[in-house]
Amino acid sequence: MIKRKLTLFLIFFLLILSLPSVKPFINRGFFPMHDDTQPARVYEMAKALSYGQFPVRWVPDLGYGYGYPLFNYYAPLPYYAGAIFSLSGLDAIISAKIMFVIGIILAGITMLLLVNYLANPSAGIASSLLYLYAPYHAVNIYVRGAVGEIYAYGFMPLYILGLVMIINKTKKDVRNGIILSSIGLAGIILSHNILGMITGYFTLAFMIPYLIYLIIKKSKLTVFFVLTLALFMGVGLSAFFALPAIAEKDYSNVSKIISGGSDYYLHFVTLTQLWDSSWGFAGSAPGVEDGMSFRIGKLHVIFASISIILLVFFYYWKRIPRLNLRTKQPVKGLYPILVIMFFISIFLMIEQSSYIWKNLPGFSFIQYPWRFLNFTVLYASILISVLFLALKKNHQLYLCLLILLLVLGSYPNLFTPQAIRSVKLEDYVSYDNLRNKISKISDEYLPANFVTPNPPNDLFSIDPTNPEVQIKTLHDTPTQKSYILNSKRSIDFYPNITYFPSWRATLDDTVITINNYQGKIGLVIPEGQHSLILSFVNTQIQLLSNFISLSSLILLVYVSLFWKAKIYV
């Protein structure tokens, strides 16, 4: 009970210290960002949920007014969070602000929980502040507006905490570890596809050597199987999104994101830029003439470097007897792994790693090597806990206070947008803005053969005044549309809907073929009067994915309530 109260106090204390990082969201208005679509996406998510669509895949107003399966490909978790507030009565701008704030604060809380478990409360506060106020975190928030990366960044420490608890092998820790690691991994994948893939690579880089180590030591493989179970549960929880995003990618123009200016080779950074680079609100450019900063953070580099030196002395010269790493023997091996991962994440951001980028599957979809800054800062923030483990308790408090003052005196000024502008809700959610301005910002999930309307077409390509064709709309929702058509001849009918295999057309109770006409639905309607129903349904892969996620959720509930981890007793 005392430990729980202390944890709650630490979280409350951290929330107070976090206020400068989210202060701009309290202001009236909103600020410009690279991905200036967030209120619109929250609005579309809430609208889809209000019509009973779950999980949400289709948004009706984007895609130049034709609708498209945005959340079949674009990680949806942050927008579910934002939609909750929108559905409760708040407008889309306020809901988007709350969505951002939740993701920002999540990073600090999860890092606090992780390092408090590994070391002590003082280390937890220090590491969480460094993680929360990292310069790249500010870039993601106030420059890029990359809400998906912000949320994934917040779930990463939770994922590692779960893995560490499993390896620690106490009865209570194993159960909690399975829960936290599976939720953490699912949270990463559902927040940002790319960071989910990178996390998968880092996980393999840990799991394979760990298995070899257990085999060499002739240890029981039980812990490895439990780790594998947790990973499968995490992937399973996110399967409703992740599997269709991969299996149905050919129905989109997703390859567009890895061509032209988004080619990874144009966006390597230099070691000098990682140490210090000019702050700016523009974009990434070839060479070193970037308009945004890629610094790790001088405090992060300095304190992480000291920690690495201490670890070298501890492991190879045994010169620091006080450094006990919380006396958890299985966890001791975590720190050398973090050091290796720290340097790997740095290496993968510089041009010398191009061979790896060319040959590892999926790496081209990362687009920007500097995305590995998320992981560099993650590992650096955890490594700093070594400093606290090497000090006496009263000295730990002094170090925590020093880091607190240095962080709050150096980094909060970065958590400021370029400008606060006066905006109206209509700027994001009016039909014209959704159909034009917002749609142009992100249209890579439309079909590859989609012909952009200019100006946008009317609802039907058939002239409604044509006396030979009569069309009556009976029902029109984002996922269900019905018409009565009466024609004196066979016609080609083009509803204002983007082509996607989830759409099913039923003509007079008979399912008919849907054609792909310039990336839009095309139907052949015979002469006479007919009833036509268009329904958005689950494809086979979507049904399978939904089943896997539901099964994983049931398993997670079972582990939470009933599993006793007897294998470790």
134 and 201, same domain (yes or no): yes
Whether residues 109 and 232 share a domain: the answer is yes
Looking at the structure, do residues 357 and 476 belong to the same domain, yes or no?
A: no
Residue 303 neighbours by CB under 8 Å, 6+ apart: 130, 380, 384, 387, 403
Q: What is the mean pLDDT of the chain?
A: 89
Which stretches of 133-218 are DSSP H helices? 135-138, 147-168, 171-191, 193-216
Q: Which pLDDT does position 433 carry in this prediction?
A: 87
Residue 413 domain-assigned? Answer: no
Q: What is d(CA 107, CA 104) in angstroms, rounded to the nearest whole number?
A: 6
Q: Which CATH number does the domain housing residue 482 bear?
A: 2.60.40
Q: For residue range 226-242, what is the model confidence (pLDDT) as tens digits?
A: 999 999 999 999 999 99
**Residue in this structure with the two tokens 């309307």, named with its chain if needed:** 453
The reported pLDDT for the residue numbered 262 is: 66
Q: CA nearest 351: which of 274, 261, 255?
A: 274
DSSP collapsed to 3 states, 497-535: CECCCCEEEEECCEEECCEEECCEEEEEECCEEEEEEEE
Chain segment 184-197, per-residue pLDDT in tens: 999 999 999 999 99
Angle at 220 between CA 215 and CA 221, to 5 degrees: 70
pTM: 0.93
Task: Answer whether residue 307 is part of any domain.
Answer: yes
pLDDT of residue 283: 82
Task: Please check whether residue 98 lies inside any domain of the structure.
Answer: yes
For residue 431, being part of any structural domain is answered with no
How many whole angstroms separate alpha carbon 240 and alpha carbon 190? 9
Residue 386: inside a domain: yes
Q: Write the DSSP string, 365-376.
A: GG--GGGGHHHH
- Structure confidence at residue 409 (pLDDT): 93
Does residue 297 share a domain with residue 160? yes
395 falls within a domain: yes
Q: What is the pLDDT of residue 460?
A: 45
Number of compact structural domains in the chain: 2
Please check whether residue 294 lies inside any domain of the structure.
yes
Contact 507, 536 (CB under 8 A): no
**Segments forming the whole domain that contains residue 351:** 2-30+75-250+258-269+282-316+330-408+549-560
How high is the pLDDT of residue 467?
60
Query: Is residue 41, in this structure, part of any structural domain at all?
Result: no
Let me know whether 346 and 385 are in one domain.
yes
- Please list the ranges in the chain whose pLDDT falls under 70: 1-2, 170-171, 258-262, 315-332, 454-467, 564-569
pLDDT for the residue 332: 64
* Residue 375, pLDDT score: 98
| One domain for residues 97 and 205 | yes
Residues 290 and 372 grouped into a single domain: yes
